[in-house]
Amino acid sequence: MAVVIGYDGSDFAMQALDWAMDEAELRGLPLLVAHAWQWPYGEATEESKRHLRQAAEHVLWHGADCARKVSSIVEVTTDIHEGDPAERLVELSADAEVVVVGSRGLGRLPKALLGSVAAGLTSRARCPVVVVRGPGPLPAIAHPGPVVVSGRDLGPAVQAFALGEARIRQWPLHVLYAHSVPPLDDAGEVEVTGSAGGDLPEDSSLFVLGRRGEGHLSSEARHALGHAACPVAIVP
């Protein structure tokens, strides 16, 4: 098992890399830095493809080198793939503890709220996916807010991931529920609070939601991925 980061060298990927490094350090797991590239112009000579692959390898090296230099992760490995990045990350998710991506990438449309890679990955990944929203390095937060989990679909996997994130980061857990606070198994030392409905608290550090089936995201998840001010985790 490893923490997988989808890295394309963009400002959004840099912020996702920061989150992924924290995940790997806190969980004591290796970090796999993954990058995919595609020739976008139809037919191409092998020489042209070779140059594009070299550029992709440089991007991948940069991400892995950053992780090795500024973290205490047990192991940093790389994966380069010629093809669709979302497809490759879905494949890697089968053996990953968690996959982390930025909300957008280099190929984003100017008005897109969510990049195609993040959208395709969150709806089909086999493990939890954290989408980190915003460009550049993660800002240092003196007083982090809670992990917030939606109680509308608080299945065992969603509950376990939300509690696990709260434990390893030493953050409180807040449950947004519709009618009554869902029971939480083995909260341990995690401080748990709840509130009925309402908006995501402004000081939230992570918003966790469930995904019921492959290829489908709820309207709540789609809205959070496009508008939440904090990272969003989608748990299948």
Q: What percent of the chain has pLDDT over 70?
A: 86
pTM attached to this predicted model = 0.90
Q: What is the pLDDT of residue 158?
A: 93
pLDDT at 59: 93
What does the pLDDT look like over 162-221, one tens digit per residue? 999 999 999 999 998 766 666 666 677 888 887 877 778 888 999 999 998 887 888 889
Alpha-carbon gap, residue 230 to 138, rounded angstroms: 11
Q: What is the pLDDT of residues 47-106, one digit of tens each?
A: 777 888 898 999 999 999 999 998 899 899 999 999 899 999 999 999 999 999 998 655
Query: Could you report the per-residue pLDDT of 103-127, keeping only the tens digit for each?
Result: 865 554 444 457 788 889 999 999 9
E strand or H helix at 94, and its extent? none
Read off the pLDDT band of 135 (50, 70, 90): low
Q: For position 2, what pLDDT does the model report?
A: 96
DSSP for 60-91, written as a single string: HHHHHHHHHHH---S-EEEEEEES-HHHHHHH
Distance CA 125, CA 119 (A): 10
